[in-house]
Amino acid sequence: MEYNILFAGVGGQGIITLGRLIGSALTNSGFNVLMAETHGLSQRGGSVTVHMRVGDVNSPLVPLGGADLLVGLELIEAVRNLGYLSRDGVKIVNDYIMRPSIPKIEIPSREYLINKLREGGGDTYITSFTEYALELGDIIYTNVIILGVITSLDIIPGLTRDSVIEVIGRLKNKEYNLKAFNIGYDIVGEIKMI
Amino acid sequence: MESDKRLYLLGNEAIAYSSVEAGLEYASAYPGTPSTEILETLAKLSRKYNFYVEWSVNEKVAFEAAYGAAIAGVKSLVAMKHVGVNVAADPLTTSAYTGVNNSFVIVSADDPSMWSSQNEQDNRYYGLRSYIPVLEPPTPYHIKDVVIEAFKLSEKFRHPFILRSTTRLSHIRVSYEFNEPRRDIHRGPLDIDPARYSVIPAHARRLRVDMLARWSEIERYFNDAWFNWVEGDGDKLIITSGFSYSYVVDAISKLDIGDVKILSLSGMVPLPKKLVLEAVEDVDKVLIVEELEPIIETHIKSLLYDTDVRVEVVGKEIIPLVGELTLDKVLDAIAKWLELDIKSKDLNIDENLPVRPPAFCPGCPHRGTFFSLRKAVNRSGVKPIYSGDIGCYSLAVLPPFKMQDTIVDMGSSIGLANGFAHILPEEYIVVATIGDSTFFHSGITPLLNAVYNKSPILVVILDNRVTAMTGAQPNPGSGYDAGWEETIKIDIKKVVEGLGIEYIAEVDPFKIRESEKIFRDAVEYVRRYRRPAVVIAKRACTLLIAAWARRRGIEIPKYDVDVDKCIKCGICYNNFTCPAIYPDDEGIAHIDPALCVGCGECLDICPTKAFKPVSEWSDEFKSLWW
């Protein structure tokens, strides 16, 4: 068995924490999971990816065209990493754009990026998870909402609702994080891109 | 997050936990990606398991401290990034001559692909050229066994051992089962034999002979050690060095190519020659898969020549010399080797996407320092040469700042500036920019040199109180030790005074206008008196302060834009580039409240004073800055 996930986002968005929550939940359930992280210089607001491989694997990096799931915390970064996705791979993407801190930079339109997402892979789940998080009171809850979506889709082998709730229960701000998780868990039906 | 039995650890954390299981008694390090989390983790474990840890001032000192502890008879470890070993190379080389009185494990975390480094040197060469054996885990699951083995063998042979890691191994997360160690702490032997540890020529000549004898013994041991093994069968052989094994086994399982024999060498320096010769018997062709340099390849080819074994050996002809290995690269190489028809893949990134290099964080004091420094230098009418250094402030190499003309190694800002200053015509000003931790690491000696040789340079020390780039570790200027316990705080200003610098000023990077004036005066001083001057830009790392504020429930102040005052000049988002400030479609500036940390640097840069505080700094928030 082998299941590959690529997380893409911007340094500082909490991509590693999201990966750790999934990895810990799987580890506690006895599954083998490797996660390759980006630390150091590249974390300061630059493009970052986290590679996660579940199952009988030894090496850390997801092969190109080998990801069963792409989790994009930001639109530009999600599109940048579409090449990792397998033909029928699932996409969960935050409809949120962060402008790179570069003088006079021009960025593609939201419509352009969303159309790109239509081109590759299988089902796409997209909404502004950031807005849901801000409604809860802090942008920080974005990733736990996404975790709710991932869990609800029941696509990662071994990742159960109970195992995820157990690791969320060990976070600070347990109450709000559980609320965030449930929001994600419940909105899946509404956010599938047609 | 994890349950008690099975931990889910970063590779570096696993190295730390394994060292504790091996009976570690002394650890020192200087932070550097990808090695930092080893000592950070040890610092957290040190009290419970009763061993000593320290952040040392640089890698040479860290090396000598741990080496000293091992001479004094305890199990010690020193950790550093690959280029840190260059700084420690002097004692490292001689440590193999003397050996040690217990275990001495040198962790070198190499950075293939240069994710956070200036070069991608392969530190297996340090083992080879210094007669220090090298062990490298073949998969993430072998970290514990290999680390414990390194301690055991180092103790057995009373010889230093290098444990080599790489970015991918250090920063992989993997499950780990921690077994409570038995702790029998001992203090060292009472006699340290000068005939062994005082390396005068007469002793050294004998020590070299002894060292070579130990080297042969270690090679013999490596031939039969569990961590070097042959698996599979067939007439095709792949030889792997360390972690490259993990890519090879995953590639083979994907390719479905039948029988392939693998010789996995986790102890590859010294090369276990007998084992290699046995493995190549009865095979038709050999592929050597190793990341970076052809180290085992060169030795195996020479071994086969010497022993008159004729077999086709392929290595760097198809395994890339540049960059880290990936499953894709190894798949391509094996396919090429076996002449399989497999198309190599490409990420094919959409050309319309903007690049996103790293940038100074919102509220980073360095942004303010470089902004005011640039204005001051430009208005002085001199041509600047910006001699840069290694740290977060290296990011000033990028637009809009472009204020790092050179970045080479730790402390080179002042070192190179010494050379520039005596060569460039007088219309130039040489400005060296260096962080607090880098200054303590390697900036003090070149500054002393500048005083002694009257080098006309402006040195800007960007003091953000911690070693920020690697995740905010305390340093001698912080006032805290590795466990964040209070300790002596070294005042940079006093150090600089002590070195004999006559012109010293301080600026607050958040006060842009005030800083600009102070920088202009300093430039004038250097030009007029042709002597070095130092300006210390002092503000704690905002990322750290914001994290502390969140943890303690202290409100972070915010700023906002009075959109009626905004004239769309773009200074804030094009010339200052705070990530919290962004333009709308019409060019009017806005602040993203989720990113703003209330530094207030934008107040001074806006020509129409369009920025205004939403909430003021509370006394509690003020008290966090130290």
- What are A61-99's pLDDT values in tens digits? 999 999 999 999 999 999 999 999 999 999 999 999 999
Query: Domain tally for chain B?
Result: 4
Q: Do B116 and A108 touch (CB under 8 A)?
A: no
**Same structural domain for residues B493 and B566?**
no
Those of residues 35-94 in A touching chain B at CB distance below 8 A are 35-47, 56-65, 76-77, 79-84
Please say if the pLDDT value at position A121 is more than 90: no
Same domain for B170 and B199? Answer: yes
- The distance between the two most distant Cα atoms of chain B, rounded to a whole number of Å, is 84
CB B40 within 8 A of CB B478: no
Chain A, window 122-181: residues with a beta carbon less than 8 angstroms from a chain B beta carbon = 134, 139, 167, 170-171
Give the single-character DSSP code of B9: E
Nearest CA in chain B to A80: B349
Nearest to A41 among B37, B168, B469 (CB): B469
Q: Are the beta carbons of A105 and A94 closer than 8 angstroms?
A: no
Closest residue in chain B to residue A137, using alpha carbons only: B594
Residues B93, B189, single domain; the answer is: yes
Q: Are residues B55 and B194 in the same domain?
A: yes
* Residue B299 is assigned to a structural domain of this protein: yes
- Tell me the mean pLDDT in the region A179-186: 97
- Asked which of B189, B223, B257 is the last residue of a domain, the reply is B223
Å between B250 CA and nearest CA of chain A: 6
pLDDT of residue A45: 87
Reported as type and span, the H/E element at residue A189 is: none
Contact (CB<8Å) A59/B246: yes
Helices (H) and strands (E) in chain B, counts: 23, 25
Give the one of A27, A82, A112 whose C-beta lies nearest to B8's C-beta.
A27
Residue B619 lies in a domain: yes
Query: In chain B, what residues touch A19 (CB-CB under 8 Å)?
Result: 173
CB contact A1 to B (< 8 Å): no
Using the beta-carbon criterion (under 8 Å), do B247 and A102 form an inter-chain contact? Answer: no
Within a domain: B351: no
How many structural domains does chain A have?
Answer: 1
- Which among B223, B243, B270 is the end of a domain? B223
Q: The domain that contains B281 carries what CATH number?
A: 3.40.50.920
The C-alpha atoms of residue B282 and residue B277 are separated, in whole angstroms, by 10
The phi, psi pair for B29, rounded to 5°, reads -165, 165
Which one of A20, A40, A139 has the shortest CB-CB distance to B34?
A: A40
Tell me: do B97 and B162 sit in the same domain: yes
Q: Are residues B20 and B73 in the same domain?
A: yes
| pLDDT block averages, 10 residues each, chain B of length 626 | 71 98 97 98 95 97 98 96 98 98 97 95 98 98 98 98 98 94 71 94 98 98 98 96 98 90 98 98 97 98 97 98 97 96 86 94 97 97 97 96 98 98 95 98 98 98 96 97 97 98 98 97 97 98 94 94 97 95 95 92 96 94 95
The CATH number for A129's domain is 3.40.920.10
Give the whole-angstrom CA distance, residue B374 versus residue B378.
Answer: 6
Q: For chain A, give percent helix, strand, coil, nearest 5.
A: 45, 20, 35
Nearest CA among A8, A27, A1, A21 for reference residue A80: A8
Residues in chain A with CB shorter than 8 Å from the CB of B174 are: 34-35
Cis-peptide, bond into residue B270, ω within 30° of zero: yes
In a domain, B352, yes or no: no
CA atoms within 13 A on the CB side of B473: 28
From residue A37, alpha-carbon distances to A59, A73, B560 in Å are: 13, 15, 34
By percentage, how much of chain A surpasses pLDDT 70?
98
CATH number at residue B53: 3.40.50.970
Task: Say if CB B521 and CB B533 are below 8 A apart.
Answer: no
Q: Which are the contacts of B29, defined by CB distance < 8 A and separation ≥ 6?
A: B35, B36, B38, B39, B55, B56, B62, B78, B79, B80
- Domain range for A132 is 2-99+108-190
At residue B464's C-alpha, the angle toward residues B463 and B469, to 5°, is 110
For residue A72, the chain B residues in CB contact (below 8 A) are none
In a domain, B360, yes or no: no
Q: Are residues B403 and B500 in the same domain?
A: yes
In this structure, are B384 and B506 located in the same domain?
Answer: yes
| Chain B positions in Cβ-Cβ contact with residue A23 (cut-off 8 Å) | 8, 173
Q: Which of B171, B353, B575 sits opposite A39 (nearest CB)?
A: B171
CB contact under 8 A, A64 and B328: yes
Q: Specify the pairing of strand B236-241 against strand B285-289.
A: parallel
Distance CA(A8)–CA(A6), nearest Å, equals 6
Domain identity same for B396 and B533: yes
Of B174, B345, B356, nearest to A47 by CB-CB distance is B356
Decide if A44 and B577 are in contact by the 8 Å CB cutoff.
Answer: no
B212 and B265 together in one domain:
no
Q: Is residue B345 part of a domain?
A: no
Are B405 and B502 contained in the same domain?
Answer: yes
Pairwise CB contact (< 8 Å): A20 & B175: no
Q: Which of A42, A59, A104 sits opposite B358 (nearest CB)?
A: A42
Residue B270 forms part of a structural domain: yes
Domain range for B588: 552-624
Nearest residue to A102 (alpha-carbon basis) of B580, B392, B357: B357
Residues B515 and B571 placed together within one structural domain of the fold = no
Q: B113 exposed, middle or buried (CB, 10 Å; 0-12, 13-18, 19+)? A: middle
Q: What pLDDT score was predicted for residue B5? A: 61
A/B interface, count of CB pairs below 8 Å? 175
Q: What value of ipTM does the predicted structure carry?
A: 0.96
In this structure, is residue B348 part of a structural domain? no
pLDDT at residue B191 in the model: 82
User: Quick one: closest CA in A to B364, which residue?
Assistant: A44
| CATH code for the domain in which residue B593 is found | 3.30.70.20
